[in-house]
A and B are shown apart, each in its own frame.
Chain A
Amino acid sequence: MTNDNPAADDRLLIHALVDGELDPAHALEVERKIAADPALAAERARLLALQRALREKVPPKPLPAHVRMRVERAVGIGAARSGRGRPTWAALAASVAIALLAGSASTYVALAPSGGDRVAEEVADDHLRALMASQPYEVASSDRHTVKPWFNGKIPQAPRVVDLAQQDFPLVGGRIDVIGGEAVPALVYRHRQHLISVAAVPDGKRAGAQLQRRTVRGYNLVGWRDGNTAYWAVSDLGAGELDAFVQAFRSAPAE
């Protein structure tokens, strides 16, 4: 408000009055001014009418059920997690602990933070974002001969797509992720109700030859290198099951 309008402050205070923001002493003072000035009284009447019209007439914008479900699914809460017969994350974590104690066939390396961590973060973010989308893949197919050609023309090199249905990791589709500013192919597999994304990052020279394991925001990731491509698998599966997936993926025969 400007100084040219001497009533500007009083007008602001009327808003505060109708909003119930004034303490009793100030409210009383403003009430007195309103009683003495018909213009201020008219302003209050208009504001009350406006508030009432807004409250009673503007239709609410209710939260669509699918938005709630997507959010719940993405963070792993609500109905999506409470299905019976499915192991809880805690149970999976326990089984991972046992697997580690028993000694895994794979060698896990605890690495100092490196370029791989940034990639792992991005892979995890893309996975989480995909879970929030209406469907976590752009091409939906369990047939690798459909999924692989879909990538042609979208990215320089189509990824290696393997069929793991026999190992209880059916292919469900593929999508394009953006990792380090580059469009890279990502495959989506399923294990029970859990989805696994596998991003294939070309020129993965920074990836070590050994398996790398990360946890980003509760999601497990396993990274490895094959030729010049770095692969990152990410899922809310327990580390033991994700490890089993990676082993199946790596040992599956190429086409």
Chain B
Amino acid sequence: MSIEEDRRRFADVVMPHLGDAYSLAHWLTGDAADADDVVQEASLRAFRAIGSYGGRNARAWTLTIVRNTAFSWLTKHRRGTVVAVDDLEAVERAQALPGREGALANPATPETELIAKADAARLEAGIAALPVPFRETLVLRDLQGLDYREIAEVMEVPVGTVMSRLARARRRLMDTIGNTER
């Protein structure tokens, strides 16, 4: 495959989704300068791998690379940020046991009106506070508009996992909005 062919494919496949790529990197790293680095590194990886693009979903393909790059980046620069999901779900199960106070077992759910009134700063802070596996699911669905199958492809998990993480992410976000409201 010639370099011109690679460039043409990169322009067709990756460039249209560079905005989404940057947005996802920004939400995952929480920082504009870090998002710059991640997008550039991911673009390099995508360009090198463009020959392996299978022609299905260009956005999911691109975002998969961005997500993996962001995780390598977080692991390298912010050890401890990426909590293993298994640990997280074990914690939640423990919290949800009967007789224990926990968000899942006994959600202090805010009223619809309170959610509707939440301002941008509170929403952004709430999203940023979500553990990474929940945050990425919520961002991909509610901010970037991917459907469940696309999200499953990007995160390389089954659709059922996408659904449960999305539900948890929204539950936590709603609770945060409610609890921080004075």
Which positions in A face B, CB cutoff 8 Å?
Answer: 1-2, 4-5, 11-12, 15-16, 19-21, 42-43, 45-47, 49-55, 57-64, 66-68, 70-72, 74-78, 81, 89-90, 125, 128-129, 132-133, 217-218
Chain A: minimal CB distance from B124 (Å): 6
- Complex: A57 Cα to B124 Cα, angstroms: 9
> Do the beta carbons of B123 and A53 come within 8 Å of each other?
yes
Asked whether A132 and B40 contact (CB < 8 A) given A15-B163, A57-B118, A90-B4, the answer is: yes
> Do the beta carbons of A21 and B43 come within 8 Å of each other?
no
- Complex: A67 Cα to B4 Cα, angstroms: 22
> Do the beta carbons of A132 and B44 come within 8 Å of each other?
yes
Interface string of B102-115 (1 = CB under 8 A from A): 00110001111101
Chain B: minimal CB distance from A6 (Å): 12
Asked whether A46 and B120 contact (CB < 8 A) given A4-B105, A5-B105, A68-B18, the answer is: no
> Do the beta carbons of A58 and B10 come within 8 Å of each other?
no
B1 to chain A: closest residue by CB = A218
> Do the beta carbons of A77 and B11 come within 8 Å of each other?
yes
Which positions in B face A, CB cutoff 8 Å?
Answer: 2-4, 6-7, 10-11, 15, 18-19, 21-23, 26-27, 32, 35-36, 39-41, 43-44, 47-48, 93, 96-98, 104-105, 109-113, 115-116, 118-120, 123-124, 127, 141-143, 147-148, 163-164, 166-167, 170, 173-174
Chain B: minimal CB distance from A27 (Å): 14
> Do the beta carbons of A53 and B118 come within 8 Å of each other?
yes
With a cutoff of 8 Å between Cβ atoms, the chain A residues found around residue B147 in the complex are 19-21
> Do the beta carbons of B143 and A54 come within 8 Å of each other?
yes
> Do the beta carbons of A71 and B6 come within 8 Å of each other?
no
> Do the beta carbons of A67 and B36 come within 8 Å of each other?
yes
Which of B21, B40, B112, B164 is A74 in contact with, Cβ under 8 Å?
A: B40
Q: Can you report 24 residue pairs joining A to B where beta carbons are below 8 Å apart?
A: A2-B93, A2-B96, A5-B105, A15-B170, A42-B112, A50-B174, A52-B116, A53-B123, A54-B123, A55-B142, A57-B120, A58-B123, A58-B127, A58-B143, A61-B26, A63-B18, A71-B18, A72-B15, A75-B47, A76-B3, A77-B10, A78-B15, A125-B44, A217-B47
Which of A63, A77, A217 is B19 in contact with, Cβ under 8 Å?
A: A63
Asked whether A76 and B7 contact (CB < 8 A) given A1-B167, A2-B93, A49-B115, the answer is: yes
> Do the beta carbons of B173 and A50 come within 8 Å of each other?
yes
Secondary structure class of chain B's binding surface, majority of residues = helix
With a cutoff of 8 Å between Cβ atoms, the chain A residues found around residue B15 in the complex are 71-72, 77-78
- Complex: A61 Cα to B23 Cα, angstroms: 5
- Complex: A90 Cα to B173 Cα, angstroms: 53
- Complex: A72 Cα to B18 Cα, angstroms: 11
With a cutoff of 8 Å between Cβ atoms, the chain A residues found around residue B97 in the complex are 4
Q: Which 5 A-B pairs have the closest CB atoms?
A: A218-B3, A132-B40, A49-B115, A63-B22, A49-B116
> Do the beta carbons of A218 and B105 come within 8 Å of each other?
no
B124 to chain A: closest residue by CB = A58
Asked whether A5 and B104 contact (CB < 8 A) given A57-B120, A58-B123, the answer is: yes
Chain B: minimal CB distance from A91 (Å): 11
With a cutoff of 8 Å between Cβ atoms, the chain B residues found around residue A52 in the complex are 116
Asked whether A60 and B23 contact (CB < 8 A) given A54-B142, A68-B18, A77-B7, the answer is: yes
With a cutoff of 8 Å between Cβ atoms, the chain A residues found around residue B127 in the complex are 58
With a cutoff of 8 Å between Cβ atoms, the chain A residues found around residue B7 in the complex are 75-77, 81, 218
Asked whether A67 and B167 contact (CB < 8 A) given A58-B127, A132-B43, the answer is: no
Which of B48, B93, B98, B111 is A217 in contact with, Cβ under 8 Å?
A: B48
Asked whether A46 and B118 contact (CB < 8 A) given A15-B170, A58-B143, the answer is: no
> Do the beta carbons of A75 and B10 come within 8 Å of each other?
yes
